[in-house]
Structure 1
Amino acid sequence: MSVSQIKFFQINFLIYNFKNCCSILKKKQMIQQKIFFDDLEKFLNSSIQSHQILHIDIQKKGNQIGAIGASDLGSGLGKCTNLTYLQLEFGGNYIGDQGVSSLGFGLEKCTNLQNLTLCLYYNQIGPIGAAGLGCGLGKCSNLQNLTLDLNYNLISSEGASGLGSGIGECSNLLNLALYLYGNKIGATGSSGLAFGIGKCTNLQNLNLNYGENKIGDEGTQGLCSALEKCTNLSNLKLNLLFFLIYFYFVFIPLVFFFFNLNHFFIFKFCFSYQLINLFIKISFFSSFFHSNKLSNQLINSLFFLLYLKSWNQIGGSVIGSCLGQCPNLSNLTLDFSYNQIGDEGASGLGHGLRNCTNLSNLILNLWQKQFICF
């Protein structure tokens, strides 16, 4: 190694350490400045206008604020015009449409917000409330980081579309995480929400959790068509949880599109040149079948889990073809357990992998009842 190369590595090492130090100092400074409340009254009686970094955790002590309390909270937040960071946690408070709409009305006045986390699971939020919240979020034009947990509400397709409209106005978003388990958004809601997300062309990190929503073929196609516009994405986490019916030893999937060559658009979208880190979890549940054994591994690498009982040889070839379009991959784990991809599928998979010339870590699990026979 030449002297110039050594100096080059030394300089890069110093720059790397300097950036890490700056990041740590920034986090420490934020922690020191953060104001925390676990009581609504204490927040309302505080110096509201002075807050810049705020964390309110109503659920910590099991407090129930209801719709009226949420309205008071929204009114108070509307006065926090200097807020840049806000974390709200009050799951299971049954604030309903009225409460979350008031919350959205307050948030729309926080125009300096850059970081927002809302934990609103189990709050009986319907389509009107979700649309109201989306309207408020749309006014927060400086948002860069948004985490929204609406698990197990009832926002339906109308609410999801309204939420998407609001998110679509946040053109500066870099990081977005949405948790929408069990909201019955359906195909229309999925497409509407994705259409809004597709307007956030600066997105770099996206985490979508669409479990138990029955978005089907149409919803998934709408999702992928919209996300194709997010050309700056480098990290995508897509969590789809579906249910299977177990009857006379036959698994009947409620999602057909994974078994048909014409419906592999989801994979063709996800495997793109730009992506470096990709996490896709497709879990299937029945009373006798669980398939989430690898869900917490490989955060910083491509993680791809397919655990489908009836997958055929065509699927292996298609996935191989898509993987071949990912020249930047360095870490890859493929779990094709119980898929019967056969010799044709395995050959297609290998053909695609040979184009991944930057791979440094590869784990393949091809355990199945029927495989290559000679």
Structure 2
Amino acid sequence: MCSNLLNLTVDLEGNQIDAQIISNLGSAISKCCNLSSLTLNLRWIKIGSLCILNLGPWLANCTQLSTLVLQFTGSQFGDKGSSILGFALAKGTQLQNLSLFLESNQITAYGASDLGSGLVMCSKLSFLHLNLRNNLIGDLGANNLGFTLSKCAKLSNLTIDISFLLNLNYLNKRQI
């Protein structure tokens, strides 16, 4: 099908798609056996943890994948989705460059820990950009994530954003 394809960008930001479409997308991507770079933008699509589960298996089939950008901002998959994603990423044995945009997904310390456990299994990972802004990770999650990532032996470039911005409009409405 797409055996000559080396780089792929899929941008579905803000679309209304369901688990079946995500599953079909993952299946199609897994057939791109020589893919070395993938950017997948599913920002602001409420895919939930089940859809992350559907996407996971394709990563194991993309054995040449060295650069991966996953944009899941506002996808509402929580700790379960973060854990599944960590497990799926652990299968990316060739991953060297990884950017994860997981802002606003209701991820707590538990989900961040599971994600970190998966990332540490990526033995060739040298560049990591991890955006976990506006989640519920807290001090414990930040500490655990930092400790886990310190075990990534080849990691030479690391950017982590775990800031949390309160929505003041939401707070003001709640006080009324």
Q: Counterparts of 1:126 and 1:217 in 2: how far apart (Å)?
A: 25
Contact 2:103 2:135 in 1 (8 A): yes
Q: Which residue of 2 aligns with 1:196?
A: 118
Q: Which residue of 1 aligns with 2:154?
A: 232
Q: Superposed, which structure 2 residues align to 1:1-374 within 5 Å?
A: 79-244=1-166
Structure 1 unaligned residues grouped into runs of 5+: 1-78, 245-284, 288-374
Amino acid at match of 2:82: A
Q: Summarize deviations over 1:287-346 as a string: whole Å, max 9, x none.
A: 7xxxxxxxxxxxxxxxxxxxxxxxxxxxxxxxxxxxxxxxxxxxxxxxxxxxxxxxxxxx
TM-score w.r.t. the length of structure 1 is: 0.43
Amino acid at match of 2:77: I
SS at match of 1:116: strand
SS at match of 1:243: coil
Structure 2 unaligned residues grouped into runs of 5+: 170-176
The number of residues matched between the two structures is 169
Contact 2:142 2:162 in 1 (8 A): no
Q: Counterparts of 1:98 and 1:188 in 2: how far apart (Å)?
A: 28
Identity of counterpart residues, as a percentage? 38
Q: Counterparts of 1:220 and 1:131 in 2: how far apart (Å)?
A: 25
Instruction: For residue 218 of structure 1, report the CA deviation from its aligned partner.
Output: 3.2
Q: Which residue of 2 aligns with 1:9?
A: none
286 and 234 in structure 1: CA distance in 2 versus 1, 3 angstrom threshold: farther
Q: Counterparts of 1:188 and 1:173 in 2: how far apart (Å)?
A: 24
SS at match of 1:232: coil
Contact 1:206 1:237 in 2 (8 A): yes
Q: Counterparts of 1:223 and 1:151 in 2: how far apart (Å)?
A: 19
Q: Summarize deviations over 1:208-249 as a string: whole Å, max 9, x none.
A: 0001110123322331232122121221111122135xxxxx
Q: Counterparts of 1:239 and 1:132 in 2: how far apart (Å)?
A: 27
SS at match of 1:134: helix
Amino acid at match of 2:134: E
Amino acid at match of 1:208: L
115 and 227 in structure 1: CA distance in 2 versus 1, 3 angstrom threshold: same
123 and 86 in structure 1: CA distance in 2 versus 1, 3 angstrom threshold: same
Q: Summarize deviations over 1:161-218 as a string: whole Å, max 9, x none.
A: 1111111111111110000111112222111111111111211111000011101233
Amino acid at match of 1:120: L
**Which entry has the higher C-alpha Rg, 1 or 2?**
1
Amino acid at match of 1:155: F
Q: Summarize deviations over 1:1-47 as a string: whole Å, max 9, x none.
A: xxxxxxxxxxxxxxxxxxxxxxxxxxxxxxxxxxxxxxxxxxxxxxx
Amino acid at match of 2:119: I
Q: Which residue of 2 aligns with 1:352?
A: none
Contact 2:112 2:145 in 1 (8 A): yes
Q: Counterparts of 2:49 and 2:11 in 1: how far apart (Å)?
A: 20
Runs of 4+ that moved beyond 6 A? none
Q: Counterparts of 1:218 and 1:133 in 2: how far apart (Å)?
A: 29
Cα RMSD between the aligned structures?
A: 1.7
Q: Counterparts of 1:97 and 1:193 in 2: how far apart (Å)?
A: 21
Instruction: For residue 286 of structure 1, report the CA deviation from its aligned partner.
Output: 5.5
